[in-house]
Amino acid sequence: MTIAEKKKIFNRWGYGLFIHYGLYSVYGLGEWLMFLERRNPEEYYRDALPGFRPEKGCARQWVELAVRGGMKYAVLTTRHHEGYFIGEEILHEFSDACREHGLGVGFYYSVADWSDPDYRGGPVSRESWERFVSGTHRRIRELMTGYGKIDYLFYDGCPPPETWRLRELHREIRSLQPEMLVSRCGEDTDLKSCEGHADGDPSGIWESCYSLQRSCWGYCKDSPIDKTPCQVAEMLSSNRHNGGNLLLNIGPRGDGSVPEDQRSLIETVGKWVKVNQEALFDIEPHPFQYHDREITTACGNVAYLRLIRIQGPERRICGIGNRILKITYLDTGEVIPFRQNGDVVTVRGLVEKTPEGMPRFLRIELDGAPFGIRNPMNPDCSIKTTGE
């Protein structure tokens, strides 16, 4: 399989689970605790290690949660900036479970390491920096050779590429994992991963990663989730409309258990995903070239429109150039009467949300491949003018 083919597969996956797990999970104060509170690394490790007792099977439970959530890939932090490597047993359990359930396998790796004096000293000292770079290459090679096929390497905390011989490393690891996609290392990347926003890449593949907790990615005992199932569903469908994926993060506790509010939200969204998967996976984004000004996706001659802006008994949908054959609710199959006059379609009595408060899609059967009609109130900028 070529990288171009793998990119198409990644885009079809659409929805993934991000797992931040490390020594910071024991403290329950977020993954940046060591840095923000300037804690001595030796004391930080000494105080946390006795409480870092991942229960056997916890990584498999994370993967099974992703499956119930309707997700197609998962990314696990092998180590964060605190420098602690979570261990071979967890990584084997995670990667094996992903493959058993048909999920793409993703590893997160932080090049930064606050606990390493060689890293903290920076490139100023050539000898100590070379120790850091050589150790980084060795650990990443181990990740690429010890856990089977890896689909996605998600970097973080990367110094400038030339300072840690990124190209040299990638020549080696891409030969070890020729189908693997790479993000967030400054160069030689295959996709854009946006942290906490959806400013994607219109010319390529991309994802947005968001945490369920307001102030952190790792477990934070005093920070409950700040998103509703409806908001997550809307984030996912908006990203799919714009051609991107959603990578949604959880922060397990020190024993590997997932807080109930995070687990419940993912399962609730998963039920919605199961009903609406036709509009979310293996689709084409913005099939009407954004002329419709709606949240839409398509597969073949069928378009899917997420209901928004219902402010009265009648709703107009504009910008669809095709003749519409049939409109139904995607979740129930109920047929919706409509009138079409050119690119203006009028429907009445739409219900925007399910009884559970989740978004609904219209399933719109068309007479051919979708195409959009420009709003005449917008100038047509496609015609180039010439002048002397």
**76-122, pLDDT tens digit by residue?**
999 999 999 999 999 999 999 999 999 999 999 999 999 999 999 99
- What is the rounded distance in angstroms from the CA atom of residue 143 to the CA atom of residue 100? 19
Q: What phi and psi values does residue 312 have, to the nearest 5 degrees?
A: -175, -175
CATH of domain 284-366: 2.60.40.1180
CB 381 within 8 A of CB 320: no
**Tens-place pLDDT, residues 268-291:** 999 999 999 999 999 999 999 999
**Tens-place pLDDT, residues 5-57:** 999 999 999 999 999 999 999 999 999 999 999 999 999 999 999 999 999 99
Q: What phi and psi values does residue 221 have, to the nearest 5 degrees?
A: -65, -25
Residues 6+ apart with CB under 8 A from 173: 140, 141, 144, 153, 180
H or E element in which residue 196 lies: none
**Tens-place pLDDT, residues 166-204:** 999 999 999 999 999 999 999 999 999 999 999 999 889
- What is the rounded distance in angstroms from the CA atom of residue 341 to the CA atom of residue 331? 26
How much is the pLDDT for 214?
85
CB 280 within 8 A of CB 237: yes
* 249-277 average pLDDT score: 98
Mutual angle of helices 58-68 and 88-100, in 10-degree steps: 30
How much is the pLDDT for 182?
98
Task: Look at strands 152-156 and 104-110 and give their pairing.
Answer: parallel
CB 205 within 8 A of CB 193: no
Residues 6+ apart with CB under 8 A from 218: 20, 21, 22, 24, 25, 30, 31, 80, 251
What angle (nearest 5°) sits at the alpha carbon of residue 36, between those of residues 33 and 39? 70
Sign of the four-CA dihedral 178, 179, 180, 186: positive
Class of domain 3-278: alpha beta
In one letter, which amino acid is 151?
A: D
Rg (CA), the chain: 24
pLDDT-derived band of residue 383, with 50, 70 and 90 as boundaries? low
- What is the rounded distance in angstroms from the CA atom of residue 173 to the CA atom of residue 181? 11
**Tens-place pLDDT, residues 122-152:** 999 899 999 999 999 999 999 999 999 999 9
DSSP-derived secondary structure letter, 205 = -
How much is the pLDDT for 377?
86
Q: Please name the residue that has the structure tokens 């150039």.
A: 321
Which residues on neighbouring strands pair with residue 107, listed in sequence order? 76, 153
Q: How many CB atoms lie within 10 A of CB 189?
A: 16
Residues 6+ apart with CB under 8 A from 98: 63, 73, 74, 104, 105
Q: Is 60 exceeded by the pLDDT of residue 165?
A: yes
- What is the rounded distance in angstroms from the CA atom of residue 291 to the CA atom of residue 61? 43
How much is the pLDDT for 387?
43
Q: Please name the residue that has the structure tokens 């990644």.
A: 10
**Tens-place pLDDT, residues 60-78:** 999 999 999 999 999 999 9
Q: Where are the domains of the chain?
A: 3-278, 284-366
Reduce the secondary structure of 344-362 to three states and give it as a string. EEEEECCCCECCCCCECEE
Q: What is the DSSP string of 53-97?
A: -PPTTHHHHHHHHHHHTT-SEEEEEEE-TT--B--HHHHHHHHHH
Q: What phi and psi values does residue 213 have, to the nearest 5 degrees?
A: -95, 150
Report how far apart, in Å, the C-alpha atoms of 304 and of each of 9, 92, 283, 328 are: 21, 39, 10, 10
In one letter, which amino acid is 201?
A: D
- What is the rounded distance in angstroms from the CA atom of residue 301 to the CA atom of residue 11? 20
